[in-house]
Amino acid sequence: MSESVLATLEGTGGPAEPLLRPGNGNCGGCGMSTALQFLGRAREARSIELVIPASCAAVAVGPFPYSALGVPTILTTFGSAAAVATGLSHAARLNGEGTRVVCWAGDGGTYDIGMASLSGAAERNEDILYVCYDNEIYGNTGGQRSSATPHGAATSNTLRGKVEQKKDILGIMAAHRIPYAASVSLAHPEDAIRKMRRALDMKGFRFLHVLAPCPTGWKSEPALGIELVRLAVRSGLFPVVEVIDGRRTTINVEPDFAEEALELYLSLQRRFQKSEIDAAALRPAIDRHWRDLRARSGRIVPADREG
Amino acid sequence: MSGQLLSANHAAAIGAALAGRANRTGRGFVSGVYPITPSTECMELLCNQEIEKGHVVRVESEHSAMAVCIGGAAGGARTFTTSSSNGLAFMAENVVAAALLRLPVVMVAANRTLGPPWNIWADHGDTLMLRDTGWIQMYCADNQEVLDTVLCAFRLAEDRRILLPALVCQEAFVLSHTMARTHVPTQDEVDRFLPPLDLPGRLVGTARIVGGLTVPQTTEVHRAQHHQAMGRFFEVYREVQDAFEAVFGRRPADPVVPYRADDADVLVVSMGTIGSTVERAVDVAREKGIRLGALRVRTFRPFPAELLAAAFRGRPRIAVIDRNVSLGFGGVLWGEARGLADPGAVVQGYMIGIGGGDVRPEHVLALAEDVASRQAAGAPVLMEAGA
């Protein structure tokens, strides 16, 4: 590949460059694509560098030397995103650059194999924004269970549905007392972009958890992804919150906990059908989680039900 | 001779800190470190050094230590780490990544036996396990050589004709914890020897991809380029030796170090500190009128095949000492060197000092006698050195 050809392939990485370019390899309806578009909108003129461990995001970039991403990007080994980002962030800081180093990792690279390096970077309060796009499955390898897969979901290696509960990743990260940890709903774009901007502009370790619908793994309609997220939020299954310094918890979206929302959420995804898990079976765990959240937020009674 | 009393671990750390500061006019110095016996004192001292425009990050594992170096190097910084034994095994995935990304990371390994069962003593099996990862590998025989090789390693790794990570090996305790008089250069000297790193394709500003997906034909090109870069090592190393000598007034040792080898009836080939022991044995044998000679392989990757073949020419009996066992095969160095001798020459492998056994001159004399008595080479011999 000649230098001139390479030069035409390389963008400037400036704000005019879209973050996710045409020609990326994501499936139709991929929640991670939507999340990347949100991040692209949130960053405006900020210069960012992406650190991507093995994941669908790594594959979506396309073959070398092309890149579907409009910013400097390094693909890392599976468990190393937060540690590689640490090195990049120190190099940027030593040279007085205002670059935001952003990890863009799936749930496998975050909840499982990347947990040690993630925890280490959070404990050291590295100047990194870590975004976990959580599609609740090892999507890139064809849909195996991860510790983010919810109870009852069938995967290619838990054919009758996963028996265990999903890890509380936001609780784990907040317990590191990092400056900022928040969950992001793709069905609530104003809240999502506000959080992304806030996280981009803070110093120290910031963590965002994005529920990213995966039509391929969830066995759902590609067009329904955003609606599924809305149902997950409404039902209380996916709390939309932010936690400052591991102490101050704010509930950003108050669910109505509608039974109908939870039932719809389950029925619109074939991954929940083999286990025959139903709303009634999931409700106690949701209630328990919300009791904890309310206690931590200091609001025992939901804001909109106060007298 | 002037100098300071330093362990090889401290000599390595001081070398890394000097090299780190020398990049203050470049993009600085980034290091990720994690403790493991017997390399701990190297990272400890590095953590306690003042390094202008440098950060040493105390990470949670060896895997992350190398990952920090990968990130720092991708951002254009000079990078360094140190580890040993099972730490290197745990780090291995990112050791491979640093090489395949062509990032000029420098690492010092304190060679230690792999476990379990746990043994902290010297064995080359840990770094030889990383033989095929695409790193330059150099083995040292004394503390001065460790410090000098660290400085040379940065210059070699960062040379645009090479751009490969470099591993500097020193044996557990024999060097790592043993104090010896070591000349420490001034910062000004190191600044003159080590130009600031100007890494092409670093991840700053431009929207490029580092480590993107490849298909077979691209990988073939990448491997060919990597292999060719290895091939340029010996030519570049001669320049580095000249430059080093011009600044510091001493010449770093050659990739293969001969000792009284020209007229030897029996040649003993080894790596690391056993090379010093062999030289002592050569002197003892020569006093008795036995024409023993030695070759110390200092650069193991790239493998100095031409240099060894030239040194083997006309030598009828060659003993190769390995402080390692490739289980189910024999010594790794023997396996690579045995095909380079003259047709009909006897090349016999001896594995000794495994798990840190103390190899003494009498062991070398015994195996030299053994190879002298042989008409043909046999299966590699595992010798006990004991404690």
Give pLDDT tens digits for B294-323.
999 999 999 999 999 999 999 999 999 999
Residue among B58, B70, B211 whose CB faces A87 most closely: B70
* pLDDT reported for residue A304: 62
The one-letter code for the residue type at A158 is: T
DSSP category for residue A109:
I
* pLDDT reported for residue A306: 54
Q: Is B336 exposed, middle or buried (0-12, 13-18, 19+ CB in 10 A)?
A: middle
* Pair A117, B64: CB distance under 8 Å: yes
At residue A7 the predicted structure's pLDDT band, cuts being 50, 70 and 90, is: very low
Same fold, B4-248 and B256-382: yes
- Express each pLDDT in B107-118 by its tens digit: 999 999 999 999
* pLDDT reported for residue B205: 85
**In this structure, is residue A306 part of a structural domain?**
no
**How far does B302 lie from chain A, in Å, by closest CA?**
25
**In this structure, is residue A79 part of a structural domain?**
yes
* pLDDT reported for residue A16: 57
Residue among B53, B68, B214 whose CB faces A87 most closely: B68
Q: Which chain B residue has the Cα nearest residue A12?
A: B206
Into how many domains does chain A fold? 1
Count A/B contacts: CB-CB distance under 8 Å: 178
Check whether A171 has a pLDDT greater than 70.
Answer: yes
ipTM: 0.97
pLDDT, mean over chain A: 93
* pLDDT reported for residue B183: 97
- Express each pLDDT in B71-97 by its tens digit: 999 999 999 999 999 999 999 999 999
Biggest alpha carbon distance in chain A?
A: 70
* pLDDT reported for residue A303: 60
Mutation choice for B interface testing from A3, A94, A103 by most B CBs within 10 A: A94
Q: Does A2 touch chain B (CB under 8 A)?
A: no
**How far does A91 lie from chain B, in Å, by closest CA?**
5
Mean of pLDDT values over A139-148: 96
**In this structure, is residue A213 part of a structural domain?**
yes
* Pair B229, B163: CB distance under 8 Å: yes
Mean of pLDDT values over A112-134: 98
* pLDDT reported for residue A302: 66
B153-159 long-range Cβ contacts below 8 angstroms, 24+ apart? B153/B106, B154/B19, B154/B78, B154/B104, B154/B106, B154/B194, B155/B193, B155/B194, B155/B240, B155/B243, B156/B233, B156/B236, B156/B237, B156/B240, B157/B104, B157/B105, B157/B106, B158/B78, B158/B104, B158/B197, B158/B199, B159/B236, B159/B240
* Pair B181, B157: CB distance under 8 Å: no
CB contact under 8 A, B72 and A64: no
The domain segmentation of chain B, as residue ranges, is 4-248, 256-382
* pLDDT reported for residue B324: 98
Q: Does B376 touch chain A (CB under 8 A)?
A: no
Check whether B1 has a pLDDT greater than 70.
Answer: no
Q: What topology is assigned to B4-248 in CATH?
A: Rossmann fold (3.40.50)
- Express each pLDDT in A240-272 by its tens digit: 999 999 999 999 999 999 999 999 999 999 999
At residue B385 the predicted structure's pLDDT band, cuts being 50, 70 and 90, is: confident
Q: Does B49 touch chain A (CB under 8 A)?
A: no
Q: What are the residues whose beta carbons fall under 8 Å from the beta carbon of B231, sequence distance 6 or more?
A: B302
Lowest mean pLDDT among A14-23, B149-158, B229-238: A14-23
DSSP-based three-state secondary structure for A208: strand
**How far does B53 lie from chain A, in Å, by closest CA?**
6
B179 phi-psi bin (left φ>0, alpha ψ -120 to 50, beta other): beta
**In this structure, is residue A307 part of a structural domain?**
no
Domain carrying residue A79:
3-300
Provide, as residue numbers in chain A, all residues whose Cβ is less than 8 Å from the Cβ of B77. 87, 90-91, 94
Mean of pLDDT values over B339-345: 97
Whichever domain contains A200, its CATH number is 3.40.50.970
- Express each pLDDT in A187-238 by its tens digit: 999 999 999 999 999 999 999 999 999 999 999 999 999 999 999 999 999 9
Q: Does B214 touch chain A (CB under 8 A)?
A: yes
**In this structure, is residue A129 part of a structural domain?**
yes
Residue among B69, B73, B207 whose CB faces A10 most closely: B207
Q: Does A25 touch chain B (CB under 8 A)?
A: no
* pLDDT reported for residue A4: 46
Q: What topology is assigned to B256-382 in CATH?
A: Rossmann fold (3.40.50)
Which positions 202-231 of A are in contact with B (Cβ < 8 Å)? Answer: none
Provide the whole-model pTM: 0.96
At residue B387 the predicted structure's pLDDT band, cuts being 50, 70 and 90, is: low
Written as six digits, the tokens of B330 are: 């024999």
